[in-house]
A and B are shown apart, each in its own frame.
Chain A
Amino acid sequence: MTIIQGLILQTNEAGFCKFLFDMCSLLNLKEADAAQPIRHDPAPKEIETLLFVEDDVVTRRVYSSYLRQRGYIVLEAQHGREAFDVYEDNKDLVQLIVTDMVMPGLNGRQWVDLISLHRPHLKVLYISGFTRASIIQRGILGAETPFLEKPFGREELALRVRQLLDAPPSPA
């Protein structure tokens, strides 16, 4: 503030106007920059809404936050029953569900099966600490079902999300 006051005192009237204009431009630019979400390719093409379901609070918070930075609207739920309620309240908006498999109460497959009765083409990405082989061997998911094994990175998740959103709906 002292520096700015000093600059104003040392500037004539025309210079002062230019100084104010430059400062305003700079501030507006910074505000415009701050309002923009951090985006990298591949980025959302429009406003897209995801539902992220995960009982581990750190994973849910970190990955939801990252997907928001990429420009998605991310709804959160901490277990299957809550996910079912959040989905019911936002079913016209949700374009993709990212859900953990093993959670207290309804597991990922169970709660998704419930909503799939009414929306069979809904896109779902399952995440789990199980290996893909184990998930298939246990008959929990089919070999073609979108799945991401923990641990995975944020970029990896963002890429799978983008791929699934861009893919045509799978047959019921």
Chain B
Amino acid sequence: MNTYLFYELANGDPDVCRDLIEHYMTQTTQQIRELKQALSSDSASTVSRIAHSMAGASLMVGIDSPVSLLRKLEEDGDQGDLSKAASLIVALDKEFKEIFTSLKKVGNG
């Protein structure tokens, strides 16, 4: 994971960097919550849209490790298939916890 892309995107300003990391973590946490809600209401199209947005947002800041899981969720949702969605979301939860731990170190560094 290239966490330093935040620093570059912030033009080297540590305050802006921390702010961007904070925005990314807050937004991602909210989206994971929305993914779970969409799954519980059986809305495959919403699962697909949220997963697509999360993949794009992560790629733009150089975080590519969750993208394959998100793409799978997006594709399955697009096909109306939520049979593997619960296990994919659990895996995503775990992945983002690790990412957030790394990001907090960058933000505090």
* A interface, CB within 8 angstroms of B: 55-59, 61-62, 100, 102-104, 128-130, 150-151, 154
Contact = CB atoms under 8 A, between A and B. Distances in A.
Contact of B23 (A58, A100, A128): A58
A130 B75 CA distance: 11
B27 interface: yes
Contacts of B55: 129
Task: Name the prevailing secondary structure of the B interface residues.
Answer: helix
Contact count band on B: 10 to 19
B58 to A, nearest CB: 9
B59 A129 contact: yes
Interface of B: 9-10, 20, 23-24, 27, 49, 52-53, 55-57, 59-62
Contacts of A104: 49
A102 B52 contact: yes
Most chain B CB within a 10 A radius of its CB, from A103, A128, A150, A154? A150
B52 A129 contact: yes
Contacts of A151: 56, 59-60, 62
A129 B55 CA distance: 7
B53 A58 contact: no
B45 to A, nearest CB: 11
